[in-house]
Chains A and B, each alone.
Chain A
Amino acid sequence: MSTRTGHNPTARRLASVRWAVAGLAAAGLLLAASFLPLAVGAPAVPAQPTFPHRAELVAAVLSEDAPKQLELVKKLVEAGGDPLVEQALAAWRQGGVFLYETNDTRTPFLLDPQADPDGQARALRLADGEQLKDPAGKPLRFAATDLTPVDTDSKLRKAIKVTLDLFALANPDPKMRRDAVTKLGQEQNAEYLPYFEARRTKEREKEVVRALTEAVALTRTVDEDVKVRVAAINQLAELRSINSLQFLQKIEKDNKAVTSPGAKETFEAAHAAVQQIESYLAMGNLFGTAFRGFSLAAVLLVAALGLAITFGLMGVINMAHGELIMIGAYTAYVTQNLFRAKLGATGAGFDTYFLAALPFSFLVSGLVGLILERGVIRFLYKRPLESLLATWGVSLVLQQIFRHIFGAANVQVNSPSWLNGSYVVHDVLFAYNRLFVIGFAVFIVFATYLLLTRTSLGLQIRAVMQNRQMASALGVRTDRVNMMTFAFGSGLAGMAGACLSQIGNVGPSLGQSHIVDCFMIVVLGGVGNLVGTVCASLGVGVTDQILQPWLGAVLGKITVLAGIILFLQWRPAGLFATRTRSLEG
């Protein structure tokens, strides 16, 4: 045994302890009460544990009687914790168990997952995990492609899956354990109850305990005894068990107009439970929708803020804004690759790449914006329609350049691990990447506000935007201010790109998918007004998320667009009309 589990003595000891615990888990079926104290005493068990279930496994594989085979597989639940059985069952289910036949013996075996470059792997006997030898005593190796697997039918595979699922009750990953429990609970199979109870007595993770309680209660809702049934339903209501809602609804329906004894009580309990859970869901939905609305608003705001500066304040119809976003996203991609090359693909070092990517993309996009302003836009300040055409041309050129350098296909930007997953409060999900975007939106709006109102550059920007000639006459270098403002707006677009790389695609056409939304937000908010931009993105984001569940994504978006058009008919200058001279001259 030890040869297979590894050379590290500690690992071996740990493994043997686990097996011992597993062996006891089987015994626990009979001695559920005395289980816990025994498990604590596990180290006293002999170092060479025996595996009574391996013989059953072999018998199951060799059996040609389908019902008996199912029976045997089901019995193997007791072998949980024997890694060989677990491995063999998983392999069997996926066609990875084979038979070695000599004259009249048939030996089932599986292949070591570690194959040679030539595709051959050691053949391991199911009976003991030792390498299979031919009659001459030569160890055997095979390539999986040359072998015919022991066949399975869907019923058998399902039985194997149940057995494996029950193994998962001991999975070291609490999330996997919780999911396994939930899934098993939904089977409503009373045979599982003892396993759930045994697990619950020693489970430490709160989440898993909750899932176990839920699973037990859900299984008991189909109990013969009315009292048990009603108690279980009440418990599910108390747990606000969303996972059980559909089952409760079914119970409610099944017992509605039935006069059999106990049906009335069951119906009443289920009816109350369904109502409780539904109102809980509605509450969660309210918060969920609000959060999703804010998060969409944040995405829109982050993307549009740069444009609110270049178009809103400066009046440049900058069709290349989307491409500046794209540049930021590609900068995040390049930064990620640099970090990966230097620090490896995982771990804390790599995870910080994103923090570096944000300022980088600000700088890179800002620089490109600066070149764009110096090279093209400064000649066109007085001719807005021509700047529209020119920047559109620039956007096509930029797209093609990036397509040429990075290829036409999208590139992959991996989220750092701290942006994956979500924070769950009362079944409402707060995805970390969304939370980050919201936080980031607040941060850049605040920073932009400070820059515009608390710095001398901000003062100059506002002066130039309000009255260029007057500012110039007072000694402000309007040309330089223009350049800096445009570069700043472009830099914001770049940061937006880095941020959006965590949510969507990074490809040469990334900008195209955002540019319309950006203009929409800025125009709706009122050109030249940052507060308007913030309010417009909030309005659009929240409205969109409220409408979507009713109307669907396509119709929802159309409705929002139609709403915006109508609104602009009513108030052509947007939410907050600011009188600037930038679009009048």
Chain B
Amino acid sequence: MKSTLVSNLLCGAAAAALSFSAMAADTVKVGVLHSLSGTMAISETSLKDVLLFTFDEINKAGGIKVGGKKVLIEPVVVDPASNWPLFAEKAEQLLVKDKVSVVFGCWTSVSRKSCLPVFERNNGLLFYPVQYEGEELSKNIFYTAEAVNQQAVPAVDYMLGEGKKKFFLLGSDYVYPRTTNKILKQYLKSKGIPDSDIEEIYTPFGHTDYQTIVASVKKFAAGGKACIISTLNGDTNVPFFKEFANAGLTSENCPVVSFSISEDEFRGLPAKQLVGHLGCWTYFMSIKSPENTKFVGDFMKWIKAPVVTGVDYKVTGIDAKGRVTCSPMNLSRIGVYLWKQAVEKAGTFEVDAVRTALIGQKFKAPTGEVTMQENHHLINPVFIGETLATGQFKIIKSLGAVAGEPFSEKFLTKK
């Protein structure tokens, strides 16, 4: 109690006043399931940060209005430590022991697949915010993430529009790149690109020796009109782009579209070597809109003095240096707001009612309005951005709102 008081005094009179009333107010437990240690910590910690920020934002604005009462969000943060089976255990803990109403979490597909049965068994609710390969639909998961037709397919379309005729699919060796590339190959074939003009190569996680691959890219690109579709994940991008630049390849003679490099990943990459290459996301930090200016501005302010207003929760482990916002962060935040609105509509935290209420929820996001569809995916605008030396993206094309579709056979046959 005392520590709450002290921290509240620190964060200003207004917040303190609110929190006094909050002592009496109802709270709802909300789970945060992101790795805070291990290999994925670099990416996932940012999502934990933005979730806490969003909880604070909602609590400051009066919390969730359910049945005439104001309910504040109380975060329960666990650390699955980049350990896939541990994701399932921690999810179980959140749902059974802490009895949280909803969980926001997971980054890699394998972690999502690992805790999916737990959510289905306990009828929990999970919001998943990171671009993924699709071919999955659980009634207990809402995917604010970009589906393949909201990222990979538009990017390939853009490349085809630029007159590219040869595609080099390069990825890390795990489920997301392999599934995405399988879909892309079918898609490219439907667009009249013959198999001989598509090359597909995978490298292990943390691969450092890209000499041979870059040499084959160079050969591949020699005839012109070639591009690389990269699903390389994590820091393995550094040796790749270094080798790429040293071989005299540039974004002019062979552009690279990367699906796994957002502003946040950029912080650890040599931006100079990536200039001119492309990204495709449903959000860029450089998007100009009043909502985005507010989101970015508020987040940067919050990160310097992080609290979750109104509840007894101490925010720790926040690195305030050189922070950016990126698509998964934006999608995490959207998930929280959609859930809040659904709860308010349903008038209860009960999962089945909230699930029904979620369908058709709209939210004015930094990039424009997003809508939750019946298939648990968003209708969300898609953008193509070009990398700048500052680690930001310059938006070169807005592709408008695209309805997320998890199953490739549907969007492949539609065209």
Q: Say yes or no: B242 contacts A409, CB within 8 Å.
A: no
Residue among B201, B235, B253, B396 with the highest chain A CB neighbour number at 10 A: B235
Partner of A420, one of B202, B206, B245, B253: B245
Q: Is A243 positioned at the interface, with any CB of B under 8 Å from its CB?
A: yes
Q: Is B390 positioned at the interface, with any CB of A under 8 Å from its CB?
A: no
Given contacts A422-B248, A431-B247, contact A504 B208 (CB under 8 A): yes
What class of interface size applies to chain B in its complex with A?
35 or more
Interface residues of B in 215-258 (CB under 8 A from A): 215-216, 218-219, 222-225, 235, 238-239, 242-243, 245-248, 250, 252-253
Q: Is B413 positioned at the interface, with any CB of A under 8 Å from its CB?
A: no
Q: Say yes or no: B250 contacts A179, CB within 8 Å.
A: yes
Q: Is A456 positioned at the interface, with any CB of B under 8 Å from its CB?
A: no
Residue among B173, B218, B223, B225 with the highest chain A CB neighbour number at 10 A: B223
Closest to B200 in A: A552
Map CB proximity to B onto A487-521 as digits: 1 under 8 Å, 0 otherwise: 00000000000000001110101000100000000
A-B pairs under 8 A by CB, number: 121
Partner of A246, one of B212, B213, B222: B222
Chain A at the B interface: SS class: helix
Map CB proximity to A onto B322-334 as digits: 1 under 8 Å, 0 otherwise: 0000000000000
Interface residues of A in 407-441 (CB under 8 A from B): 407-412, 414-415, 420-422, 424, 429, 431-434
Q: Say yes or no: B268 contacts A513, CB within 8 Å.
A: no
Cα A406 to Cα B273 with chains together (Å) = 22
Map CB proximity to B onto A278-298 as digits: 1 under 8 Å, 0 otherwise: 000100000011001001100
Cα A104 to Cα B355 with chains together (Å) = 56
Given contacts A421-B248, A503-B242, contact A154 B268 (CB under 8 A): no
CB distance from A75 to the nearest CB of B (A): 21
Q: Is B321 positioned at the interface, with any CB of A under 8 Å from its CB?
A: yes
Partner of B396, one of A94, A182, A299: A94
* A507 proximity list for chain B (CB < 8 A): 235, 268
Q: Is A13 positioned at the interface, with any CB of B under 8 Å from its CB?
A: no
Q: Is A245 positioned at the interface, with any CB of B under 8 Å from its CB?
A: yes
Q: Say yes or no: A422 contacts B238, CB within 8 Å.
A: no
Q: Say yes or no: A296 contacts B209, CB within 8 Å.
A: yes
Q: Which residues of chain A have a CB within 8 Å of any CB of chain B?
A: 94, 145, 154, 158, 175-176, 179, 182-183, 186, 242-247, 281, 288-289, 292, 295-296, 299, 407-412, 414-415, 420-422, 424, 429, 431-434, 503-505, 507, 509, 513, 544-545, 548-549, 552-554, 557
Q: Which residues of chain B have a CB within 8 Å of any CB of chain A?
A: 39, 41-42, 45, 161-163, 173, 201-204, 206-209, 211-213, 215-216, 218-219, 222-225, 235, 238-239, 242-243, 245-248, 250, 252-253, 267-270, 272, 288, 319, 321, 396
Q: List 30 A-B contacts (CB under 8 A).
A: A154-B162, A158-B163, A176-B252, A182-B253, A243-B224, A289-B212, A292-B211, A296-B211, A299-B209, A407-B319, A408-B42, A409-B268, A410-B235, A414-B270, A415-B242, A420-B246, A429-B218, A431-B246, A431-B247, A503-B242, A505-B208, A505-B238, A513-B206, A544-B209, A548-B213, A553-B203, A553-B207, A553-B213, A554-B173, A554-B203
Q: Which 10 A-B pairs have the closest CB atoms?
A: A246-B223, A410-B268, A186-B224, A292-B211, A553-B203, A431-B246, A409-B268, A548-B212, A504-B208, A505-B235
